[in-house]
Amino acid sequence: MAASISFCLNPSDFSPSLYPFKYLPTIRRFRCYSSLRDSSQTPQLLKSAVTGVTEILRLFSSGKDRPDNTKYIERDEPSISGIEDVMMVLKSDYDNAYFVSGNFTPTIYAEDCIFEDPTIRFRGRDLYSRNLKLLVPFFDRPSIVLQKIEKGINSQTNFVLATWELRTYLKLPWKPLISIGGSTVYDLGDELKIVRHAESWNVSAIEAVAQIFTPSFERKDNMLI
């Protein structure tokens, strides 16, 4: 999503995995999108293109807006004593549309948290924040709807699973409409900090990027948000 179809910076430690399927047996009543694509199928050329666009956005950001030193909005650190507390903070972040507003609660993430989606994988909470801030100015009438959020436990880790739908126009001359459904797995470490933020989409990476280049008037699902 935001930093997803987004143009995230790409360190060299790419080793994607489709997390929701790994955890599905441990969550009852959860039905995942039947068309979710494995990020390992994403062409390397597309991953490189996503990285290149991110670099261009970063370089052309005005000096005063370039977030070399990430500063977060001052807020009280939430008290986390269990998975339910993490879920409450995440739900609040979704209410704030954090994927398209950049307004999220950084203290629930480990500093070296891994972020991944079907096009990219990188490490670092601050880097994630900077990438979000690069994209926010390009969104027009964005909407991110949380459909479901639930907790799960398996033999390896505790985690939270959220399913959502994203719709936004982009401020480009041809007014492309981005419409993606998906899920995000938030893996929790020993201190209940999020150590991995892994997205899956109901479209392939190629289909998602193709939406950027499709004029909204050509989209059958083009409806005002």
**Residue 74 located in a structural domain:** no
pLDDT digits (tens, 9 = 90+) for 116-164: 999 888 999 999 999 899 889 999 999 999 999 999 877 778 999 999 9
Instruction: Give the pLDDT band of residue 209 (cuts 50, 70, 90).
Output: confident
Exposed / middle / buried, residue 29 (Cβ in 10 Å: 0-12, 13-18, 19+): exposed
Please tell me the total count of domains within the chain.
Answer: 1
**Residue 225 located in a structural domain:** no
Tell me the mean pLDDT in the region 46-56: 58
Q: What was the pLDDT predicted at 217?
A: 77
**Residue 10 located in a structural domain:** no
**Residue 123 located in a structural domain:** yes
**Residue 180 located in a structural domain:** yes
**Residue 13 located in a structural domain:** no
Distance CA 86, CA 191 (A): 11
Q: What percent of the chain has pLDDT over 70?
A: 63
CATH number of the domain residue 107 falls in: 3.10.450.50
**Residue 4 located in a structural domain:** no
**Residue 5 located in a structural domain:** no
**Average pLDDT over the chain, rounded to an integer:** 77
Distance CA 121, CA 198 (A): 9
Q: What was the pLDDT predicted at 189?
A: 96
Instruction: Give the pLDDT band of residue 7 (cuts 50, 70, 90).
Output: very low
Q: What was the pLDDT predicted at 120?
A: 87
How far apart are the two ends of the chain, measured CA to CA in Å?
17
> Are 1 and 180 spatial neighbours (Cβ–Cβ below 8 Å)?
yes
Range of the domain at 130: 19-28+37-67+79-218
